[in-house]
Structure 1
Amino acid sequence: MREVLSLDGVSFAYETDENVFVQAVQNVSLTVHDGEWISIVGHNGSGKSTLAKLMIGLLFPSEGVVNVFLEQLTDETLWEIRSKLGVVFQNPDNQFVGATVQDDVAFALENNGIPYDEMQRRVSEALSDVGMADYGSHEPHHLSGGQKQRVAIAGALAMNPRILILDEATSMLDPQGRSEVIELITSLRQTTGLTVISITHDLEEVLLADRVFVMNNGSVAATGTPTSIFEQGTKLQEHGLDLPFALRLSQLLRSAGLPLIGDYMSERELVNELWTSHFSE
C-alpha cells in the first residue's frame, strides 16, 4: 500500500507559564497508508491531540520529521500539503466563519482561489454527500450538534482531501449525533477510498479502524488491530483506557458461568450471540 503520511522520530515540547518545558510527544514513529482508517487513542494528556496538530502543521516538531505524501512538512510546503488534508475538530462552532451553511463550506475554497462555478459545484456536492443539501441557507449556529459536524465535514470534503483527520470530532455529540457522523464517515470512505485518521475517546469508533495506535505519556505504547489491542485487557487499562462495553460484559457473563463462544467487541455481536445461543429456543 502507498504511504501517505509518516512521522519519523518526532518529538515536541511546549513551555508552560512557569517557563518549564513539558515533553508532549516523545520519539514517535508511525506510517499511514492510502485508504486506511487509523485510530489514535489515549487518556487526556497522552499526546494524541498534539500528534494531530503536528500532522497538519499547526505545530512543528522539535525533533524528527513529518512527511505527507512523501514530502516533508515545513513552512515552505505547509499550505500546499494542507490543501490536500481535511480536518474536523472537536467543537464545530470554532470552525464556522460563514453567515450561512453554504458560505461556510465555500470559505476555504474561496481562499484557495477556486473559480466560482467550480466552487458552487463543490459546495453543492459536499452538502449533498453529508445529507445537508436542504440547509444551505441556514445559519450554522442554529443547527443541532450532529448537523454542525456534518457541515464541518462538508467544508473539509469540499477541498477534495486525500486524508481526513478527525480530532475528537464526535466527543461533544449525543449518541444519535455520534452514530450519524460515524456512519457518514464510514460511507464516504467506502465510496471514495478516503484515508481517515481519527483521534478519539469513543471505543466503538475505534472498532472501525484498520489499525490503532495507543498513546501514553507522549509515546506510542501499543499498536495493532482493534481486536489485538483490546485483547490486552488490563494492560490497556494501565494506559488509562477502558474496554468496549460489550467486551467487558462478555467477560462478566462468562465469569458468572454463562457459556459464550468468544469475547464480543460490539453490542450487536453480543446480543446476537445471546439471542441465538441462549434465548431463541
Structure 2
Amino acid sequence: MNEILSFNNVSFSYTPDIKDSRKAVDNVSFSINEGEWIAIVGHNGSGKSTLVKLVCGLLFPQDGEIRVMQNVLTEDNLWETRSSIGMVFQNPDNQFVGATVQDDVAFALENNGVPFEDMVERVHLSLKQVKMDNFLNHEPHHLSGGQKQRVAIAGALAMRPKLLILDESTSMLDPQGREEVLQTVQTLRDEIGLTVLSITHDVEEALLADRILFMNAGKKYAEGTPQEIFALGDKLVEFGLELPFATRMTNLLQSEGVQLVGQHMTEEELVNDLWTSNFNK
C-alpha cells in the first residue's frame, strides 16, 4: 500500500527556549496508508490540534520528520504538499466565500488557475459525490449544518486531494447533520478509496476508523483498532475520553448481573448479544 503520511519521532514545543517546558507533540510516530481512515482522539490539550498544524505545514517540527506522499515536508515543497491535502473545519459557517454552492466549490479551483471547462466538470462531480448536486444555485446560509459540511467536503474533493482531514468537523452539528457527514465520508471511502484523517472528540465517529491514535499530554498513548483502544476502558476515562454508549451500557448491565459475552462497540452488537444470551433460550 502507498504511504500517504508519516510522522517519524516528531516533537514540537510552543516554548522551545524554556528549559523542561512540556512539548505539545512529544516524539510521535505513526503512518497512514492510501485508503485508510485514521482517527486521532484525546482530551483538550492532548496535542491533536498541533498535529494537524504540523501536517499542513503551519508549524514545523523541532525534532523528527514528517513525510507527505513519501516526501519530507519542508518550506520549499510546502505549497505543493498542501495542494494534496483537503481540509474540513469545525464551524461550517466560517468556510464559505461564494454567493452560491457552486461558486463556493469553484473558489479554490479558480484561484489555482484550473481551466473553466475542467472547473465546471469538477464542481458538478464533487457535488454529485456528496449528494448536493441539486443545490448548485442555493445560497450557503440557507443550508443545514450537515449540508454545509457536505459542500465543504465537495470543495475539498474538487481539488483532488490525496488526504482529507476532518478537524472536529462534526462537533457543531446536530445528530442528523453528523450522520449525513459521516455517511458521506464512508461512501467516498468505498467508492473512490479516499484517505481520511479525522480529529475528533466523538467516540461514535472514531469507531468508524480503521485505526485510532489516542493522544495524551502530547504523546501517543496508544494506537490500534477501535476494539483494541476502547478495550482499555477505565484508563481512557481517566484521561478524559468517553467510552462508546454500547460499551458503557454493557458495563452497567454486567454490573447488574446480566450475562453478556465480552464488550460491545455498537448498539447492534449489544442487542444481538442480549437476544442470544438472555432471550433466545
Q: Which residue of 2 aligns with 1:223?
A: 223
Q: Superposed, which structure 2 residues align to 1:188-267 within 5 Å?
A: 188-267=188-267
1:155 to 2:155 alignment: yes
Q: Superposed, which structure 2 residues align to 1:149-188 within 5 Å?
A: 149-188=149-188
State how far apart, in whole Å, the 1-side matches of 2:145 and 2:278 are.
39
Deviation of 1:22 after TM superposition, in Å, equals 5.6
Q: Which residue of 1 aligns with 2:107?
A: 107
**Contact conserved, 2:40 with 2:48, CA < 8 A, in 1?**
yes
1:116 to 2:116 alignment: yes
Pairs aligned (count):
279
SS at match of 2:76: coil
- Cα 1:22–1:104 shift into 2, 3 Å: farther
**Contact conserved, 2:215 with 2:221, CA < 8 A, in 1?**
yes
Q: Which has the higher mean CA deviation after the structures are superposed, 27-36 or 180-189?
A: 27-36
Deviation of 1:279 after TM superposition, in Å, equals 4.6
Q: Which residue of 2 aligns with 1:90?
A: 90
Q: Which residue of 2 aligns with 1:269?
A: 269
State how far apart, in whole Å, the 2-side matches of 1:108 and 1:21 are.
39
Q: Which residue of 1 aligns with 2:38?
A: 38
Q: Which residue of 1 aligns with 2:11?
A: 11
Deviation of 1:85 after TM superposition, in Å, equals 1.1
Deviation of 1:99 after TM superposition, in Å, equals 1.3
Q: Which residue of 1 aligns with 2:63?
A: 63
Deviation of 1:238 after TM superposition, in Å, equals 2.3
State how far apart, in whole Å, the 1-side matches of 2:142 and 2:78 are.
33
State how far apart, in whole Å, the 2-side matches of 1:89 and 1:229 are.
25
State how far apart, in whole Å, the 2-side matches of 1:29 and 1:239 are.
20
State how far apart, in whole Å, the 2-side matches of 1:179 and 1:36 are.
20
**Contact conserved, 2:259 with 2:277, CA < 8 A, in 1?**
no
Deviation of 1:215 after TM superposition, in Å, equals 0.4
Deviation of 1:276 after TM superposition, in Å, equals 4.6
Deviation of 1:166 after TM superposition, in Å, equals 0.6
State how far apart, in whole Å, the 1-side matches of 2:228 and 2:195 are.
21
**Contact conserved, 2:203 with 2:243, CA < 8 A, in 1?**
yes
SS at match of 2:201: coil
State how far apart, in whole Å, the 2-side matches of 1:138 and 1:78 are.
34
State how far apart, in whole Å, the 2-side matches of 1:271 and 1:178 are.
23
Paired amino acid for 1:145: G
SS at match of 2:23: strand
State how far apart, in whole Å, the 2-side matches of 1:277 and 1:160 are.
48
Paired amino acid for 1:181: V
State how far apart, in whole Å, the 1-side matches of 2:82 and 2:143 are.
27
Give CA deviations for 1:76-96 in whole Å, capped at 9, x if unaligned.
Answer: 111111111111111122221
SS at match of 2:237: helix
- Cα 1:21–1:119 shift into 2, 3 Å: farther
Structure 2: stretches of 5+ with no match in the other structure:
none
SS at match of 1:243: coil
State how far apart, in whole Å, the 1-side matches of 2:166 and 2:191 are.
18
Deviation of 1:64 after TM superposition, in Å, equals 2.0
Deviation of 1:9 after TM superposition, in Å, equals 1.8
Deviation of 1:189 after TM superposition, in Å, equals 0.3
State how far apart, in whole Å, the 1-side matches of 2:142 and 2:204 are.
28
**Contact conserved, 2:259 with 2:278, CA < 8 A, in 1?**
no
- Cα 1:230–1:142 shift into 2, 3 Å: same
State how far apart, in whole Å, the 2-side matches of 1:136 and 1:22 are.
48
Give CA deviations for 1:63-122 in whole Å, capped at 9, x if unaligned.
Answer: 221110011112211111111111111112222111111111011111111110000000
Q: TM-score if structure 1 supplies the norm length? A: 0.94
SS at match of 1:260: coil
RMSD: 1.9
State how far apart, in whole Å, the 1-side matches of 2:21 and 2:219 are.
17
State how far apart, in whole Å, the 2-side matches of 1:21 and 1:166 are.
29
The percent of aligned pairs where both chains have the same amino acid is: 62
Deviation of 1:138 after TM superposition, in Å, equals 1.3
SS at match of 1:59: coil
Paired amino acid for 1:256: E
Q: TM-score if structure 2 supplies the norm length? A: 0.94
SS at match of 1:194: coil
